[in-house]
Chain A
Amino acid sequence: MIYDDLQPSTARRTLTASAHLLGKLRLDGPLLLGICATAVFGLVILYSASGENLALTRGQFLRMCLGLVMLVLLAQVSPKHLRMAAPWIYALGVVLLVIVAVIGDIGKGAQRWLDLGILRFQPSEIMKLAVPMAGAWFLHERPLPPDLKLVLVLGLMVLVPVGLIAEQPDLGTALLIAAAGVFVVLLAGLRVRVIVAVLALLPALAWMGWGMLHDYQRKRVLTFLTPETDPLGAGYHIIQSQIALGSGGVFGKGWMNGSQAQLEFLPERSTDFIFAVAGEEFGLIGLMLLLGLYMFVIARGMYLALQCQDTFSRLVAGSISLTFFVYVIVNAGMVSGVLPVVGVPLPLVSYGGTSMVTLMAGFGILMSVHSHRKLVGS
């Protein structure tokens, strides 16, 4: 219509208004939309996976809201301040990890939690963000691509917390943090020949790592290679989740109709194996939608990282986005039987508290580096 420009429609007005609001709150609309869409889909799946447990689902929703608040708050902090805080947060995290390890040593058992009386949390959660931030802080002022000395120092910065967490033993979290650190180095432009050399050394490292694994972790790797050897123990998870996925077919059995999930054949159905519930009830279509949402979030994250004008922001944003991908692929790979059973939750969907808040905080940092770029850029 002719008057379009003069008389904006109500819809357009709303859009403009919300864009304005998002700008004020320093949030990225498409990313926020992607996160919220995934989270809502996650709540729908969780409600069914938990056996229609409304209290549990409500708890998850409240934690999501808490996470969103965290996201908005972090988005307000300028990357410069984040950068200055990075080494301190990292140092604090390492100290807390050591305390947890010492307490665990005295208590003679696995120890991940730090109990502060009113607050109980896992210091390893801090590390999920502190490691990429500290890595990016370290490279911020330095010429890139990093030379070997810098890479070695960075490697040490990553290995210390990863080693402490792997000792707890929490293999899944250690893996995620190692990935976050490695991504910083890779995105900074680690030379191709070094990457090739490391890949060549990988079998030797794997052999060394094998010696450091706990018995139950070795068993997981062996079960991954041949799940049918242990159908009573670890193999049971894989067999049941494959039955759930396979029986779901293309269109799924429908919401709350998955017999594998609802009859409790599927273990850990509301946490680590929730992807199988989604596959059984919503079929291949549902899983493709879910994976599509994830890929959208990751792609948007990478896009925001590309827009950044300083090294710190770019590396942190890139690492957070790629680590999010690792979450998704490790969990989906585990449940479908492509990767070993490593205790990594499906982000935004699996039931669980601390990791949800950490994820949202990570997205908050992404929003922050994106929205402040005009102020930081020179």
Chain B
Amino acid sequence: MVSRVRIKDHWAEQRMFLRRAIAAGVIMALLVGAVLVKLVQLQVVRHEYYLDLSQGNRVRVEAVPPNRGLILDRNGVVLAENLPGYQLELTREQVPDVGATLKALTDLALVDPDDLDRLKRLIRSRPLFEAIPIRLQMTDEEVARFAVRRHEFQGVDIRTRLTRHYPFGPIAVHALGYVSAISEQDLVRIDASQYAGTTLIGKVGVEASYEKQLHGSPGFRQVLVNAQGRPVESDNPLTKDLSAKSASAGNDLILSLDIRVQRAAEDALAGKRGAVIAVDPANGDVIAFASVPGFDPNGFARGLSRADYAALEENIDRPLFNRVMRGAYPPGSTIKPVMALAALDYSAVDPSQVKYCRGFFTLPGSSHRYRDWKPSGHGWVNLQEAVAQSCDTYFYGVAQILGIDRLSTFLTKFGLGQRTGIDIDGEKPGLVPSREWKQKNFPRESVWFPGDTVILGIGQGYLLATPLQLAHVASLIAARGTTFQPRLVTAVRNAHTGEMQRLAPRPSPPVDPDQTDRWQRVVDAMVAVMSSAHGTARATGATATYQIAGKTGTAQVFTIGQTEKYNEEEVAERMRDHALFISFAPADKPRIAVAVLVENGGHGAGVAAPVARKVMDAYLVPETPSPAPATPPS
């Protein structure tokens, strides 16, 4: 190939540039011409129209909020719905003096004086043309009080809007969560145009974590308003140019909760402080999720006064606290089945060999006595009997043989010390201690003591787990090593088409699923807890029509001195032990796994196990006649 050598031709370049500059000039003139044509159309041809819009008669764009999706339980019982209610709304562009208007509304007792600062900030943060709710869910009497003075309040009006209603009140509140007024913090993270016209937003629980599904997207309507900002009648010739678009409703959510079982759980805990969580081991579906005491979420949707909120916040029983997934407790003896599995896994004990329990354990070369809950001792026990009778001495020994490194590895494998991955936000990870952890957090002690390991064997010491994690452990044993991330929402239903989209269960990594004999051995031991002659929960297990596998636990809240005797009566109520229980049933083909925690409840066997039994009965024993959808209380 012969390449032609090209040389620079300045003269030709200059001519080319001139041609291009002329072309550019023509194109620029055309573009400017196009803008000018548009300007003439706006400023000359349609001048009158736009002048009308800008003066007096203005088009106000009104958002049409979407209907929030419903929340249903697994049988289709409505847990959260939308009911019409009156609310007071203020549109800033039409209010001459926001401060004076709010003051006047305060005088009418329609606005809480404590709320003024918050409202002023909220009003300032939203667009001028938007109607901002300043009072939610007004009573008929309040509506009447405003209606007679309405003419004095330019830019303020009463509107009928759908508000959130929870027919069962406090039941399942910690799972469902609640909605309440959009706050300034919410405004930072949401797309404000998607929430135009919307008053409420999910704050915690399913309502918050599934906000995107539930919310939907708003529509709009152009309305003609006069100089006072009130809508003009539709015979005005300008209204023909108005347009509208309907809102698209949010999706309905189908939960795995069974409101009947949920109720049984909350009834069983009534008057106590604690948590019950029941999951289906086959897919991680949460059947019941109770943290007691709860509170009425309707108050939040309605708008709580500052005093009411403070009362909830400062209540010593902490009703706002989600004990199921945010409360971390020492698991106590409920950890023993896991310890037994660890012992088998590392071949630390021969399961058939018996050991002698004399009521306490001592480390070699130390006189410190680690006491058994039974001062006289359990005598000769093998692994199964040690679980059934909850022999502490046996598991002190197991923990000592295994050592902290293997223990913390094994406990972590069981999902402890990390979030279970439930589909609502805010879960706490609990704690599995290790040498490194202690070094970091107790730099002064710095070393891991053998004694720290020993008490880990009975679920005391640094080990902390949430009730949700304990249910996860129970479910893992029930399913013999396979496991799922717990979930509350099982399906999403399109509000328009009715089309149901089922969500697939989310498996977690399995734990030694092929070691069937080890799993069976531990399940048998847990069955023995419920049914053997010395089983700690035999009173609960004996009367059931199905076979339960369980483990009781009693977690110390404070440490007893070496020589003191522990007298329940003398200990202040809040210093008493936490009662715990993990279980599943039927033992051979588990359909439900339950974890129970009763704060300061005393003994796991006496207090926590009966609670789990009631929940299982509600789920497993067919009721006759078939359960009608529960009628909501007024």
Partners in one complex: yes
A187 lies within 8 A of B220 (CB): no
Quick one: which of A263-286 are within 8 Å of B by CB?
263-265, 279, 283-284
Given contacts A142-B8, A143-B7, A230-B193, contact A247 B39 (CB under 8 A): no
Minimum CB distance partner of A242 in chain B: B42
Chain B residues contacting A75 (CB-CB under 8 Å) are: none
| Interface status of A217 (Cβ within 8 A of chain B) | no
A242 lies within 8 A of B8 (CB): no
| Interface status of B602 (Cβ within 8 A of chain A) | no
A259 lies within 8 A of B54 (CB): yes
Given contacts A143-B8, A305-B17, contact A245 B25 (CB under 8 A): no
Given contacts A246-B43, A248-B43, A259-B54, contact A291 B36 (CB under 8 A): yes
Binds A, one of B44-52, B251-259, B358-366: B44-52
Binary flags per residue of B43-71, CB closer than 8 Å to A gives 1, else 0: 11011011101110001010100000000
Of the residues B6, B10, B35, B54, contact of A243 by C-beta under 8 Å: B54
Chain A residues contacting B43 (CB-CB under 8 Å) are: 245-246, 248-250, 279, 283-284, 287
Minimum CB distance partner of B25 in chain A: A302
What's the least CB distance linking A305 to chain B, in Å? Answer: 7
| Interface status of A186 (Cβ within 8 A of chain B) | yes
| Interface status of B196 (Cβ within 8 A of chain A) | yes
| Interface status of A8 (Cβ within 8 A of chain B) | no
A284 lies within 8 A of B39 (CB): yes
| Interface status of B630 (Cβ within 8 A of chain A) | no
| Interface status of A104 (Cβ within 8 A of chain B) | no
State A263–B13 Cα separation when bound (angstroms): 54
| Interface status of A260 (Cβ within 8 A of chain B) | yes
State A82–B218 Cα separation when bound (angstroms): 55
B128 lies within 8 A of A265 (CB): yes
Of the residues B8, B28, B59, B128, contact of A144 by C-beta under 8 Å: B8
A229 lies within 8 A of B245 (CB): yes
Minimum CB distance partner of A330 in chain B: B31
State A233–B197 Cα separation when bound (angstroms): 13
Binds B, one of A29-37, A86-94, A333-341, A354-362: A333-341
Given contacts A249-B47, A318-B21, contact A243 B53 (CB under 8 A): yes
What's the least CB distance linking A249 to chain B, in Å? Answer: 4
A329 lies within 8 A of B35 (CB): yes
| Interface status of A113 (Cβ within 8 A of chain B) | no
Chain B residues contacting A231 (CB-CB under 8 Å) are: 61, 220, 222
Chain A residues contacting B18 (CB-CB under 8 Å) are: 306
| Interface status of A110 (Cβ within 8 A of chain B) | no
B17 lies within 8 A of A318 (CB): yes
Of the residues A188, A246, A309, A336, contact of B47 by C-beta under 8 Å: A246
Minimum CB distance partner of A248 in chain B: B43
Minimum CB distance partner of A264 in chain B: B128
Minimum CB distance partner of B54 in chain A: A247
| Interface status of A151 (Cβ within 8 A of chain B) | no
| Interface status of A293 (Cβ within 8 A of chain B) | no
State A183–B50 Cα separation when bound (angstroms): 38
| Interface status of A322 (Cβ within 8 A of chain B) | yes
Binary flags per residue of A321-333, CB closer than 8 Å to B gives 1, else 0: 0100100010011
| Interface status of B500 (Cβ within 8 A of chain A) | no
| Interface status of B20 (Cβ within 8 A of chain A) | yes
A232 lies within 8 A of B38 (CB): no
State A244–B51 Cα separation when bound (angstroms): 8
Among the interface residues A188, A229, A231, which one has the most CB atoms of the partner chain B within 10 A? A231
State A142–B53 Cα separation when bound (angstroms): 59
A295 lies within 8 A of B32 (CB): yes
B28 lies within 8 A of A298 (CB): yes
Minimum CB distance partner of A288 in chain B: B36
A242 lies within 8 A of B50 (CB): yes
Quick one: which of A105-122 are within 8 Å of B by CB?
none
A244 lies within 8 A of B54 (CB): yes
B21 lies within 8 A of A232 (CB): no
Of the residues A143, A279, A295, A311, contact of B39 by C-beta under 8 Å: A279
| Interface status of A52 (Cβ within 8 A of chain B) | no
| Interface status of B108 (Cβ within 8 A of chain A) | no
What's the least CB distance linking A283 to chain B, in Å? Answer: 6
Minimum CB distance partner of A230 in chain B: B193
Chain A residues contacting B128 (CB-CB under 8 Å) are: 264-265
Chain B residues contacting A336 (CB-CB under 8 Å) are: 35, 38-39, 42
| Interface status of B16 (Cβ within 8 A of chain A) | yes
| Interface status of B40 (Cβ within 8 A of chain A) | yes
A329 lies within 8 A of B55 (CB): no
| Interface status of A189 (Cβ within 8 A of chain B) | yes
What's the least CB distance linking A100 to chain B, in Å? Answer: 24
Interface residues on A, range: 35 or more
| Interface status of B243 (Cβ within 8 A of chain A) | yes
B36 lies within 8 A of A247 (CB): no
| Interface status of B544 (Cβ within 8 A of chain A) | no
| Interface status of A145 (Cβ within 8 A of chain B) | yes
Chain B residues contacting A138 (CB-CB under 8 Å) are: none
Chain B residues contacting A263 (CB-CB under 8 Å) are: 93
B193 lies within 8 A of A233 (CB): yes
Quick one: which of A227-255 are within 8 Å of B by CB?
228-233, 236, 239, 242-250
Chain B residues contacting A302 (CB-CB under 8 Å) are: 21, 24-25
Given contacts A189-B16, A318-B17, contact A291 B32 (CB under 8 A): yes
| Interface status of B34 (Cβ within 8 A of chain A) | yes
What's the least CB distance linking A179 to chain B, in Å? Answer: 12
Given contacts A186-B20, A322-B24, A329-B31, contact A245 B36 (CB under 8 A): no
| Interface status of A314 (Cβ within 8 A of chain B) | yes
Chain B residues contacting A259 (CB-CB under 8 Å) are: 54-55
Minimum CB distance partner of A145 in chain B: B16
State A288–B40 Cα separation when bound (angstroms): 11
State A231–B130 Cα separation when bound (angstroms): 12
Minimum CB distance partner of A241 in chain B: B42
Chain B residues contacting A188 (CB-CB under 8 Å) are: 16
State A189–B38 Cα separation when bound (angstroms): 32
Among the interface residues A188, A239, A243, which one has the most CB atoms of the partner chain B within 10 A? A243
Of the residues B6, B20, B24, B38, contact of A143 by C-beta under 8 Å: B6
Chain B residues contacting A244 (CB-CB under 8 Å) are: 54
Minimum CB distance partner of A303 in chain B: B21
Chain B residues contacting A228 (CB-CB under 8 Å) are: 243
B46 lies within 8 A of A246 (CB): yes
Chain A residues contacting B350 (CB-CB under 8 Å) are: none
Given contacts A249-B43, A279-B39, A283-B43, contact A243 B50 (CB under 8 A): yes
State A325–B39 Cα separation when bound (angstroms): 18
State A250–B61 Cα separation when bound (angstroms): 27
Chain A residues contacting B17 (CB-CB under 8 Å) are: 187, 189, 305-306, 314, 318
| Interface status of B9 (Cβ within 8 A of chain A) | yes
Chain B residues contacting A287 (CB-CB under 8 Å) are: 39, 43
Minimum CB distance partner of B49 in chain A: A246
Quick one: which of B132-157 are within 8 Å of A by CB?
none
15 more CB-based (< 8 A) A-B contacts, given A260-B54, A298-B28, A309-B10 = A143-B8, A233-B191, A242-B42, A242-B50, A243-B53, A245-B50, A249-B44, A265-B129, A283-B43, A288-B36, A306-B14, A314-B14, A338-B34, A338-B35, A338-B38
Query: 6 A-B contacts, Cβ less than 8 Å apart?
Result: A143-B7, A145-B16, A232-B220, A306-B17, A311-B10, A336-B39
7 pairs of A and B residues whose beta carbons are closest in the complex: A246-B50, A233-B193, A247-B54, A143-B6, A189-B16, A246-B42, A247-B50
